Structure 1
Amino acid sequence: MSQVLDTPPPTASAATETPAQLAARYGLSVSGARPSLPAYVRQLWARRHFITAFATAKLTAQYSQAKLGQLWQVMTPLLNAAVYYFIFGVLLGTKHGVPDFVPFLVTGVFIWTFTQSSIMAGTRAISGNLGLVRALHFPRAALPISFAIQQLQQLLFSMAALFVILLGFGVPIRLSWLLAIPVLALQFTFNAGVSMIVARMGAKTPDIAQLMPFILRTWMYASGVMWSLDKTLSGRDLPRVVTVLLESNPAAVYIDLMRFALIDSFHAHQLPHHVWAFALGWALLAGVGGFIYFWKAEETYGRG
C-alpha cells in the first residue's frame, strides 16, 4: 500500500516571484559571485600567507629536477647577460662610450628579466591552474600576485650575484644602493598589475601566451637593456613623440633608476626628466588599474 504525500500548492505571491526575489527570501546567493572591491581586498589580505607560501613552493619546485638546483636562479640571467655581451657589446660595439659596461649590462638584464618573467607567468596564472581554480574558492588575484612574488624572490637571489659583479668590476658601495629598495617596490607593483591584466586576457584567450614572447622581445629592444638609451637618442633628429615614448617606457624607467642607484658612473643627467614621477605613475596605473580590471572578471575564471 503506497502513501501519497501531498505538497501544498504554492501561494499566489510565491508563484509570481522572480528567481532573484526567491533567493533573497531564503537568503541564497550566487555561487562564486564577485564580492565588492573592499571585500575582495580583505579576502586577499586574509590569504597573504597562502600567497607567499605558494610563491615559495613554486620557486623551490622550479629547478627541483635540475642537478644544479637553485643555482640556476642566478646562472640563467648571468648566461643571458654573457650572450648579450658577446652579441651586442663585442660584435655590435654597443659597449663603446658606456662606462662600466658589464655592470651596466648585467643590471639591465636582471631588472628586465624580473618584468619579463612576471608577465610571462601571469599569462598562464589562470589558464595553467584551472584545476586549482575550479576546486577551491579563493580570490583569483592570489595567483598572478603569487607568481609576481615568485619572480621577486628569484630576482633577490640574482641581486646577490649582481652585487658581487659590481664589486668585482670596481664599483664602490654607496648609500645610493639603498635606492634599490623603493625601485624594486615600484617595479613589483607595476609587474603585478600587468600580470593581472594578462592573466585575465590569458584566461579568456590562451593564445596570448604564444604571442607574448614576441611582444616582450620587442619591448626589451626598446628598453635599453643592452645599450644606453641616453647615448643612442642624443644627437639624433627623432620626432619628439618617439623620444618621449622611449624615455617614459616603464621598463626603461625602472632599469635606469636601478643603474643610477647601483653604478657610480651612471649619472643623474642620463635619467629621463621626472623619472621618479614616471616610476610612481606607472606603478599606480598598472597596479591599481590591473587589479580592478582583473577583479571585474572574477566570476568568469575557471568557467566555460
Structure 2
Amino acid sequence: MSDTQQGGAVATSAPPSVDEGLAPAALAAKYGLSVSGARPGLFEYVRELWSRRHFILAFSSAKLTSQYSQAKLGQVWQVATPLLNALVYYLIFGLILDAGRGMTKGVYIPFLVTGIFVFTFTQSSVMAGVRAISGNLGLVRALHFPRATLPISFSLQQLQQLLFSMIVLVAVAISFGSYPSARWLLLIPALFLQFVFNVGLAMIVARMGAKTPDLAQLMPFVMRTWMYASGVMFSIPAMLADKPAWIADVLMYNPAAVYMDLIRFSLIEGYGAENLPSHVWMTALGWAVIFGIGGFIYFWKAEERYGRG
C-alpha cells in the first residue's frame, strides 16, 4: 500500500494558496488592509478634523457650560474669578509695591485687568491642554477620531470664556476713560493670533502630558513663573529701567507679553505705541505661525500612540 493510502482512504493535499509566501505587509496591501489606529497623512488628518468641526464646537460649549454647573452662581464665576484675581494683584502690586509707577490710576487698573484676563486665556489653555489626552483616556480608547480635536476644543472653550470676560473688560476700560474707537478693532486680529498660538502650545503640552502625566503637577509652577516674567502686573520697561536693556527686550518679546501689550494698546486710551516692542505685529504673527503649525505637526506625529500603553 502506498504512503498516500491509509485504510482505503486516499489522502489529498490542499492546493497551494496564491498568497503563500507573501510578507504580511504585502498581504495587507493586496487586500487593502491597514493598521487599526494608524496615523493618517497630514492633509488627510486636517480633512478629518474639518469634518468634525461641529463636534469640536459642541464639545467645547458643553465643557464650558458644565464647568461651573455645581456652583450656585454658575457662569458668573467665568468673570468673577479673573476679576477677584485682578483685585488681589491690585492690592499687592498696585497699592503696596507700587508696580504701576509711571502710569496713572486710570491707566494702571485697565492695564492690570487686561493683563490678568489675557494671560488667563493662555494659562487656562495650557492647563487644559496638558490633560487633554491623559484626562480623557476613556474617550480616546473607546472612539476613533482625530485626537487633536481635544486640545482644540479645550482652547476654544477658553476663548469662549474670554469673550464673556471681555464684556467686563470693556466696562472697566470705559469706566476709566478709554472709550470705543477705531483702535478697538485691533482686538480681533490680536485675539485671533493669540488663539492660534494657544492651540499650538496646548497641542505640544498635550502630547507631552500624554506620555508624562506628572507634567500636569509641574505646569502650575511653570505658568506662575511665566506670568511674573510677562509683565502682567507691571510695565516691563519701567520695572527694569536700571537693568541691562537686553533683559527687558527678552521679556517684552515673549509671546504672552506680546499678546497682552497688543490688546492693551488696542483697548486702553493712555497706553500708546511707545510701550510696544518694535515690529510687534510681525512678532505676534511669527509666534502664532511657529507654535500653531509646529505644535500641530508635533502632536500629529504621535497620533497612533495616544491612549496606548
Q: Compute the TM-score of the two structures, normalised by the length of structure 1.
A: 0.95
Of 11, 25, 28, the match for 1:20: 25
Aligned partner (choices 91, 114, 126) of residue 121 of structure 2: 114
Any idea what SS the aligned residue of 1:41 has?
Answer: helix
Residue number in structure 2 paired with 1:211: 218
1:83-232 alignment runs, 5 A limit: 83-99=88-104, 100-232=107-239
Q: How does 1:280-291 map to 2 (within 5 A)?
A: 280-291=285-296
The one-character-per-residue Cα deviations of 1:79-132 (angstroms, maximum 9, x if unpaired) are 000010011111111123223111010000000000000000000000000111
SS in structure 2 opposite 1:14? coil
Is 1:243 aligned to 2:248, yes or no? yes
For residue 276 of structure 1, report the CA deviation from its aligned partner: 0.5
Structure 2 residue 83 is matched with structure 1 residue 78 = yes
Pairwise CA distance, 1:136 = 0.9
Rg larger in 1 or in 2? 2
Measured in 2, the distance between the counterparts of 1:121 and 1:111 equals 16
User: How far does residue 203 in structure 1 lie from its aligned partner after superposition?
Assistant: 0.4
Distance in 2 of aligned mates of 1:147 and 1:109:
19
Q: 1:159 offset after TM fit, Å?
A: 0.3
Distance 1:177 1:239 in 2: 30
**Secondary structure class of the residue paired with 1:94:** coil
Alpha-carbon separation, structure 2, partners of 1:251 and 1:106: 15
**Structure 1: which 5+ runs fail to align?**
1-5
SS in structure 1 of the partner of residue 19 of structure 2 = helix
The alignment partner of 1:188 has SS state of helix
CA distance in 2, matches of 1:243, 1:75: 32
> 1:301, 1:10 → 2: CA distance?
41
CA-CA distance at 1:168 after TM superposition: 1.4
Q: Classify 1:30/1:158 alpha carbon distance in 2 versus 1 (closer, same or farther; 3 Å).
A: same
Which residue of 18, 30, 33 corresponds with 2:35? 30
Q: Does 1:49 align with 2:54?
A: yes
Could you tell me how far 1:239 is from its partner in structure 2?
5.7
> Number of matched residues?
296
Select which of 274, 279, 296 maps to 1:274: 279
Amino acid aligned to 1:265: G
Structure 2 gap segments, 5+ residues each: 1-11
SS at match of 1:64: coil
For 1:58 and 1:34, locate their aligned partners in 2 and report how far apart those are by CA, in whole Å: 27
Q: How does 1:6-17 map to 2 (within 5 A)?
A: 8=14, 10-11=16-17, 14-17=19-22
What CA distance in whole angstroms lies between the structure 2 residues aligned with 1:8 and 1:263? 85
Moved more, 95-104 or 273-282: 95-104
Indicate which of 60, 63, 71 corresponds to 1:66.
Answer: 71
Mapped partners of 1:165, 1:246: distance in 2: 26
The percentage of counterpart residues that share the same residue type is 66
Q: Aligned equivalents of 1:8 and 1:19: distance in 2?
A: 22
Displacement after TM superposition at 1:171 (Å): 1.6
The superposition leaves residues 30-89 of structure 1 with CA deviations (integer Å, 9 ceiling, x where unpaired) of 101111100000000000000000000000000000000000000000000001001111
Please report how far the alpha carbon of residue 10 of structure 1 lies from its aligned counterpart in structure 2 after TM superposition: 4.3
C-alpha RMSD of matched pairs (Å):
1.3
What is the letter of the counterpart of residue 234 of structure 2?
A: W
Cα separation, 2, equivalents of 1:144 and 1:84: 29
CA drift of 1:7 comes to 8.5
Letter of the 1:228 partner, please give it: S
Supply the distance in 1 between the matched residues of 2:245 and 2:87 (Cα, whole angstroms): 34
